[in-house]
Amino acid sequence: MTQLNYTLAIDLGTSGAKVALVSMHGTVLGWESQEVQLMLTPDGGAEQVPLDWWKAIVNATRRLMARGLAPVQSISAVCCSTQGEGTVAVDRDGNALMNCILWMDMRGAPHLRRRVGGLLNVAGYDAFKLARWLRLTGGLPSLTGKDPSAHMLFIKEVYPDIYEHTYKFLNVLDYINLRLCGRFVATVDSILTSWVTDNRDPDHVSYDAALVRYSGIDADKFPEVVPCTEVLGHLTREAAADLGLPEDVRVVAGSIDNTASAVGSGAVDLYETHLYIGTSSWITAHVPQKKTDIVSYLASTPCAVPGRFLLTALQATAGGNLTFLKEKILYHKDELLHEENVPDVYKIMDRIAERVPAGSNGIIYTPWIWGERAPVDDRYLRAGLYNISLNNNREDIIRAFLEGVAFNTRWLVEPVQKFTGRPVRQINLAGGGGNSDVWCQIFADVLNIPVRQVMDPIQANARGAALIAAAGLGEIRFEEGPQLVKIRRTFEPQPQTRALYERLYAEFVTIYRQMRGTYHRLNG
C-alpha cells in the first residue's frame, strides 16, 4: 500500500498560528493553533514579536505531531500562508532587529507622504511617480501608512541605527521561510506592497530601478523575488530539530493569506469570487490581466496561479470587530467581570444573533474600527453604533455587528463587479467567519448573492498553502482546485429581507458620507 504524503501547512495570521497536516489533494487531517500577542500603541502602531511567531509555530507543530495522525516520514513539504503587509528588519544572520511592524500600523504615513509627493500632485502623489506605479505595479503605496513602503521609511527615519544594520527587509512570509530554510527571499505577492517591482508579466516579476529610487530604501536591502510555487530547499538542521521533522522535508515558498485563501476556497477559475472573513476581510477573483481602479482602491496583482493576476479588494477589519466586542466589551477584564473561564463566546453570539430579526431592530453598525482600505482608503474612519434607543439591548447590538460587516462587504461588491465587468454570481466564503451559519445567511441576504460555505472554512489558508505546495512539487494542477475543495452548504438570499436590507444599506453609505468629515476632525 502506497503511503500518502502530507504537507505541514502553516497559517500565520494576526491572531496567531494554525498548523495543519494536509494531503496533496487538500484533505485536512488535523490541526493545532496557538495565539500570538498583538501590541497596539496610541500613536497608531501595531507590532508583534517575530520570535513569538516561531515559538507558536513550533509548539503547535509539536502538539499536532504528538497526536500521531500520520508518520513523520510521510511529511514531504512545509508551506506557509501568512498575514501580509508586515515588515521585519533582519541582519545578515537572519536575526530580527526589532518587532515586526504589522499591516495595521499607520506610523509611517507622514514619512511616506513626504516621499510620494512632488511639485505636481494628484491625490497626494507626484503625477509622474503615480503614472509609473500604476503602469508597472498595478497599484500605489497606501497613504494610510499600512504598507511596507511606509514601514521601511518609518524605520529609516525613526530608527536609523536599525536601518543601518538591516541586511534585508522581509515580509512576514519571508521571515518564516528564512527560519525554515535559511534563504532571504520574497514571493511575487509578498513583495507587492513595497511597490518596487514590475508586475506586468506575472510569471517574471522583477525590481524596477526607478521604483526602488522612489521608495527611498537602498536596493540591496530588498530580497530576491521567487514564484509562490518555488521549492526553496530543505529544512535547516535547526528548524528540523525545533519542529521535530526530518531535514529532507522540502520548503515551498507559499504566499500571503489572500493569495492562499483564493486557492484554498476553491475559487480558482477565472472570475470566480471568494470572500474571506478573518481579523480583516477581502474579496478576490483570479483575472487574466493587470488592472487598477484608483477610485475604489482595487487592483489585480501577481499571485500563485501561473499566468494570472488576483483582483484583491481589502477591508481593514471584519472579524476583528467581534474580537473587540468580545474582549473589550462583553468579557473585558475589570471590576464587572470576575469569571476566569470564558465560554465559547462566538457560538453564543451566533445563537443570540439568530433570534434577533433582520435589521437588528433598527441599529446600524459601521465596522471601520481601524480605518478602511477599500472602497475608500481612509485611516481616520472609526466604528460606530447608530440609532440605539431604550428599546434596544445587547442582542440587537451583536446582530448589528454581523450585519455591519456584511453592509461593508456589499459596499465593496459594487466596484468589484465594475472591475471585472460581470456580476458576482456566487461567492465562496472562507475564514473563521465562515463557521457561522447565521453570518453566512446574513451575507447572502445583504449581498443578494448565493453564498457557498466552504468545508472547514477556518482552514482555507492552510489548505491553500498545501495546494500551492502540491502544485510546486508537481502533484496537482491548479485547475483541479474546484474539485478538491468541498462546499458544505449554499445559503440562498431570502426574498423577505430584500427591501429592508436595501434600505439599511443605503443608510449605511449615507452615514459614511455624512460622518467622514467628523472622523477626520476627531482623528486627523
Residue-wise DSSP of 382-422:
--EEES--TT--HHHHHHHHHHHHHHHHHHHHHHHHHHHTS
Instruction: Name the one residue in this structure whose C-alpha cell is 423577505.
Output: 496
Question: What is the model's pTM?
Answer: 0.92
pLDDT at res. 331: 78
Is residue 55 included in any domain, yes or no? yes
Is residue 375 included in any domain, yes or no? no
Is residue 96 included in any domain, yes or no? yes
Low-confidence ranges of the chain (pLDDT < 50): 1-2, 336
pLDDT at res. 334: 59
The number of domains in the chain is 1
pLDDT at res. 3: 54
Is residue 280 included in any domain, yes or no? no
CATH number at 127 reads 3.30.420.40
Q: Give, in order, the Cα–Cα distances in Å from 327 to each of 13, 123, 320, 330, 373.
A: 18, 37, 10, 6, 24
CA-wise closest residue to 5 among 405, 369, 474: 474
**Torsion sign, CA atoms 67, 70, 72, 76:** negative
pLDDT digits (tens, 9 = 90+) for 450-493: 999 999 999 999 999 999 999 999 999 999 989 999 999 999 99
Alpha carbons 258 and 311: distance in angstroms, whole number: 10
Domain ranges, residue 136? 6-264
Is residue 116 included in any domain, yes or no? yes
Cβ atoms of 225 and 185 closer than 8 Å? yes
Helix residue ranges per DSSP H, 196-236: 209-215
Is residue 506 included in any domain, yes or no? no
Cβ atoms of 178 and 292 closer than 8 Å? no
CA-wise closest residue to 166 among 181, 144, 148: 148
Is residue 124 included in any domain, yes or no? yes
Alpha carbons 159 and 220: distance in angstroms, whole number: 18
pLDDT at res. 78: 98
